[in-house]
Amino acid sequence: MAPLPDFLRRPRVGRSSVAVRAVMLFAILWGAASYDRNFNPAFLPPGWDPGSNVGANIRTYRYAAQVAREGQSFYGVAPPGLGDWAVYLYPPITVGAYYPFTAFEWLTGYQIIVALNVIAGVVVAAAIVRFVDRISHRLGWLDAALIVGVVLLSPFTFGTIYYGNINLIVAVAFVLGFLAIEGDRSAAGGAAFGLAALFKLFPALVGAWLLKTRSWRSIASATAVGVGGILAGVLAYGREPTVTFFTEVVPNRSETADFVGGYPVDSTYYVTIQRPLSHVIWGLFPDAPAEALLPLALLVSGVVLAVFYRDVRSLQGRLIAIFATLVVTVTVFPALQWYLVLLFFPMIPLWYLWEGPGRLLFLAGGAVMFANSPPGAIIAEMRELGLPGVVEFVAASVFAFATVQLYGIAIMLAACAVWKYDRHPARAVRRTADALRCRLGVER
């Protein structure tokens, strides 16, 4: 009998980490519970109500494509059975990608988009495994299987699968983009980012990393794809949809008005730094204008990038800088937790490749991030348990200020600062402050 190919045998070489495997198992189990709660007793049972939110995203995309093919405006219209929130939000040219879904019922389209996301998730996991294999040590089958499990079954992946979104497909573009740039294929990497930005807008913020690395070919190719896509939309659908997109759709994406006075604990489960900043701004200045929030969020994001963009000569330094870039990309504007799948690379490789202080803190932050209970649900559960009122008050204050995911991300960024500046957290804080003062030109 012929021996198995080397890839299938996957002998483990190098260190294994119980802590890494424990975090991944925790993420898989928490995500599996989300699938179980929402898809039991059976997947798509007879009599299943098509008016539910299952497949809401692909139903919205498909309906927009139907309307576009009929020559009507596809912005601001929701498909039957869904609320007014289910409207198309992307540049005109992208609606053409969903024309094939109009050839069959939306349920078939939903199953196809789920299959495409699963394939994309496997590609992301395979890229992560191959990256660790190449850079550090060959992972065994257990680690490879756990990585696939995290990518496909995490609580954040659940939202992509449940609603029929394309987040894992976008994640493929991100991973391939970063790997292409790291491998001196900058034009291909930029094109991948440009394509992702066409479909989801906020990936354009990855341009901060391209500017930092002076990857001019990446910037040129990303810009060419983005501008080319906008112009193609004008040619395909005329000027009006593009004007509507830039004057009505894009300005409303920030939803700043919802944050005025401090974002309520039981509102839409956004993972964004605008949430804590809203409590800071209107806690200190009750009469502050709504327009103050976004500039402050951009300022804070700029400070985060300034801290982690210093000295990216080492691979770990670059991975941490990319991680910080993606954190800013996902959190600077109001975004749902489902977009956190974009953090899988480089977060998971860092779990394996991390050398130096802060590794366990980084893992702990990852575990916190995967516990995706909404703040309102946590407080309601405490109330049911009959905990003392003071405990409920403290919990309400903590979770009104930020989501669990944002706390987990903050812990991971703190771990990155510990690694970057010193072995001791207190000194890391001081050196981070010194670095910021140096950047801002402020004297001690």
**Residue 352: both structure tokens together:** 């394996």
Res 390 pLDDT > 80:
no
> Sorting pLDDT into bands at 50, 70 and 90, what band is 42?
very low
Look at 245 and 424; give whichever has higher pLDDT.
245
> Sorting pLDDT into bands at 50, 70 and 90, what band is 39?
low
- Please give the pLDDT value at position 205: 87
- Please give the pLDDT value at position 13: 47
**Residue 64: both structure tokens together:** 């927009």
Question: Residue 335's closest CA among 269, 398, 279, 259?
Answer: 269
What proportion of the chain, given as a percentage, has pLDDT over 70?
Answer: 84
Res 25 pLDDT > 80:
yes
- Please give the pLDDT value at position 379: 67
- The reply to whether omega before 425 is within 30° of 0 (cis) is no
What is the pLDDT averaged over residues 329-347?
93
Res 159 pLDDT > 50:
yes
> Sorting pLDDT into bands at 50, 70 and 90, what band is 4?
very low
- Please give the pLDDT value at position 255: 75
Determine which of 146-155, 280-289, 405-414 has the lowest per-residue pLDDT on average: 280-289
Give CA 258 to chain center in angstroms. 21
Q: Residues 145, 10: contact at Cβ < 8 Å? A: no
pTM score = 0.87
What is the pLDDT averaged over residues 19-47?
76
Burial of 177 (0-12, 13-18, 19+ CB in 10 A): buried
Helix and strand numbers, DSSP H then E, in the chain: 21, 0
Question: Residue 362's closest CA among 325, 412, 414?
Answer: 412
For residue 341, give every residue at least 6 positions away whose Cβ sits within 8 Å of its Cβ, in sequence order, or none.
151, 154, 156, 157, 160, 167, 168, 171
Q: Which residue is it, tokens 């898809």?
A: 39
Using CA atoms of 317, 320, 324, 325 in order, give the dihedral in degrees to the nearest 10: 70
